[in-house]
Amino acid sequence: MTIESASRKLVKEFRSRRTLRTGSLITTVFGDSIAARGGTVWLGSLINLMSDFGIGERLVRTSVFRLVQDGWLQSSQIGRRSYYSLTDEGCERIAHATSKIYAEPTSDWDERWCLVLLAGLDASQKELVRKELGWLGFAALSSNMLAHPTPDEAALDAALRRLGSDELIIISGKTVRNALAMRNLAQDSWNLAEIDAAYAGFIKRFSPLITAYGKDANVLPKSAFMVRTLLIQEYRKVLLRDPLLPSELLPESWSGSAAYRLCRNLYRAVHAPADAYLSDILETVDGPLPPVSGEFMQRFGCLD
Amino acid sequence: MTIESASRKLVKEFRSRRTLRTGSLITTVFGDSIAARGGTVWLGSLINLMSDFGIGERLVRTSVFRLVQDGWLQSSQIGRRSYYSLTDEGCERIAHATSKIYAEPTSDWDERWCLVLLAGLDASQKELVRKELGWLGFAALSSNMLAHPTPDEAALDAALRRLGSDELIIISGKTVRNALAMRNLAQDSWNLAEIDAAYAGFIKRFSPLITAYGKDANVLPKSAFMVRTLLIQEYRKVLLRDPLLPSELLPESWSGSAAYRLCRNLYRAVHAPADAYLSDILETVDGPLPPVSGEFMQRFGCLD
């Protein structure tokens, strides 16, 4: 199979899905492509771009309108044209997701656990904390305790500020015996099997593309853009649910590492022709998009 | 009131109690007096000694028999006389209690908490751990977590060996925020009010003696022995229930510190004449008891 036919198959499968989340895909295009190239786009050119995925003008307009309502995007009218850019809040959300999605898996765990004690909270506060810290990958080891080995400190700080509870107790500590029992307890508390299966599904979907690319690196700019976008769309869906545990706490057969390598390698293969395609198709008020930011090249370790 | 009349009043009050725990009092005499002076005594002389408290020969014999059954004492027959000494296990128990009872309160807490997670245990195991570690002053912060700021490490090790559970997780850690909430949670988890009230009762009972001693230091050897014994008997009843929290975690009005100072001062006043009395009354197979051990003089900081 050539990379062209593999990408056609990928897009076809994507278009055949019953629930096509256009808003989510546009968020991926903004987060993966547009944010690194100025962050603003003329709606007409975005409509052109999304038509590649079989998404019609009307659906793009509705989705963009919703993304404005949800605080992701803002619009400005210049002449007869509408331009959309990320809001400050949208930029922050993207930056936070970006710091995870394109990051190399770390393995420098100091064996310390971050424990969150909920004992002093009432039932509704507990529920709120469980939900908020659940987004950060914390698992409930028991009804009154959440834990994570390597929490995202900045995100935790922000979440705790939002929660604003004076009764919430955070303890940083190490096991002094039965480290293994703690690992087992923790592993049982996360839904690792489900996430592992999602990574395996991701690998299954994208491995034909990397195989095809290995045989013939000639990929058309348009296909490169579509592959890159669907790659990040699918990868981030799993990754942002992943508690990102240190490797010491993962099962031997964990698919996350293989999924990371596949995603990185395919991204390295397609990002440049994809950006060439974006330069052709997307427009700002000043003409084509500016070149990619310096930070962009640091994705997945390094894109060079 | 003279110290003689104050001691008579003390002993009278003790003798009037409905439940006179002879075994417990004999344990105090062994732990406080005999252990530091060779550890062996002729039963006949012990019967003489206990008669001061209004305890008859028969009750002493029954109690001593029970203490043998409970592993505290062992007997040896030499001629027509029975000698009782502490077993190895009895010595260990006494040594453990001694290390607490006569110790100066420490205040060198490093702000670290010892947390014991029970999440992996079944209900009956949890109950067992809660009970065992309850003896060591651990409090349940929630249904699946016990905590102590400054556990007795050796006793904890021994308890964990006895419990032998591979699922029991011990974490040593510090609060990284809301240290106050942790303190409040912990304080609410111990029954400090009850222990504080017991210390206050102890102070009320023994302050007339220290006041009387302040006016006239002339105390008869026999009274000195009875005061010393009842002093330790009553003090240890409270102290061994006390989780011995660092001062940072105690309420401002905590009676434990005043109780300690009172106990130490009165002990310093009466220990020497009491030992003179023991030299007169108690007998070993070689005659009178040997002199007190060097360690003895280190009680309550220092007895000199």
ipTM surpassing 0.85, yes or no?
A: no
Contact A36, A292 (CB under 8 A): yes
As a whole number of angstroms, the distance between CA B164 and CA B169 comes to 12
Contact B146, B116 (CB under 8 A): yes
Distance in Å, alpha carbon of A90 to nearest chain B alpha carbon: 29
As a whole number of angstroms, the distance between CA A10 and CA A288 comes to 28
Coil vs helix vs strand at B72: coil
Task: For chain B, give the percent of residues with pLDDT over 90.
Answer: 73
Query: Count of alpha carbons within 13 Å of A118, Cβ hemisphere only?
Result: 25
Chain B CB contacts of A154 under 8 Å are: none
Q: A172 and B173: CB-CB below 8 Å?
A: yes
Per-residue pLDDT in tens (0 to 9) along chain A, 304 residues: 888 999 999 999 998 887 768 999 999 999 999 999 999 999 999 999 999 999 999 999 999 999 999 999 999 999 999 999 999 999 999 998 999 999 988 778 899 999 999 988 889 999 999 999 998 999 998 888 999 999 988 889 989 988 887 788 999 999 988 888 888 888 888 989 999 999 999 999 999 999 999 898 889 999 999 999 999 999 999 999 999 999 888 888 899 999 999 999 999 999 999 999 999 999 999 999 999 988 999 999 888 7
Per-residue pLDDT tens digits for B217-232? 889 999 999 999 999 9
**Residue A161: closest CA among chain B residues belongs to which residue?**
B177
Which of B142, B174, B184 minimises the CB distance to A171?
A: B174
- The tokens for A49 are 């771009």
Interface of A with B (CB under 8 A): 112-115, 117-120, 141-145, 160, 166-178, 180-182, 184-185
Chain A CB contacts of B176 under 8 Å are: 114, 170-172
Question: CA of A104: how far to CAs of A241, A244, A255, A263, in Å?
Answer: 16, 11, 15, 11
Chain B CB contacts of A187 under 8 Å are: none
DSSP 8-state assignment for residue A70: T
Q: What is the pLDDT of residue B178?
A: 81
Which of A119, A174, A180 minimises the CB distance to B141?
A: A119
Numbered ranges of CATH 1.10.10.10 in chain B: 1-106+191-304
Q: A181 and B172: CB-CB below 8 Å?
A: no
Contact A86, A29 (CB under 8 A): no
Q: B117 and A169: CB-CB below 8 Å?
A: no
Which of B143, B171, B175 minimises the CB distance to A169?
A: B175
Coil vs helix vs strand at A174: strand
Provide the β-strand partners of residue A81. A78
* Contacts across the A-B interface (CB distance below 8 Å): 113
Interface of B with A (CB under 8 A): 112-115, 117-120, 141-145, 160, 166-178, 180-182, 184-185
Question: CA of B245: how far to CAs of A55, A120, B98, B231, B255, in Å?
Answer: 67, 20, 18, 22, 13
Q: B167 and A178: CB-CB below 8 Å?
A: yes
Provide the β-strand partners of residue A117. A145, A169
CB atoms within 10 A of CB A144: 19
Contact A116, A138 (CB under 8 A): yes
Give Cβ neighbours of residue A58 (< 8 Å, ≥ 6 apart).
none
Q: Rounded mean pLDDT of chain B?
A: 92
Distance in Å, alpha carbon of B186 to nearest chain A alpha carbon: 10
Distance in Å, alpha carbon of B199 to nearest chain A alpha carbon: 28
Domain spanning A112-174, CATH class? alpha beta
As a whole number of angstroms, the distance between CA A219 and CA A231 comes to 15
Q: B171 and A143: CB-CB below 8 Å?
A: no
Most B-contacting residue of A125, A129, A156, A169 (CB-CB within 10 A), to test interface: A169
Q: What is the pLDDT of residue B20?
A: 67
The fold of B1-106+191-304 is Arc Repressor Mutant, subunit A (1.10.10)
Residue with token string 């599904």:
A201
Chain A CB contacts of B141 under 8 Å are: 117, 119, 144
Distance in Å, alpha carbon of A70 to nearest chain B alpha carbon: 32
Numbered ranges of CATH 3.30.70.240 in chain A: 112-174
Q: B184 and A119: CB-CB below 8 Å?
A: no
Which of B114, B174, B181 minimises the CB distance to A120?
A: B181
Q: What is the pLDDT of residue B271?
A: 96
Instruction: Please provide the size of chain B in residues.
Output: 304
Q: Quick one: average pLDDT of B130-134?
A: 93
Instruction: Please provide the size of chain A in residues.
Output: 304
CA angle (B22 as vertex; B16, B26 as ends), nearest 5:
130
Q: Quick one: average pLDDT of B204-214?
A: 94
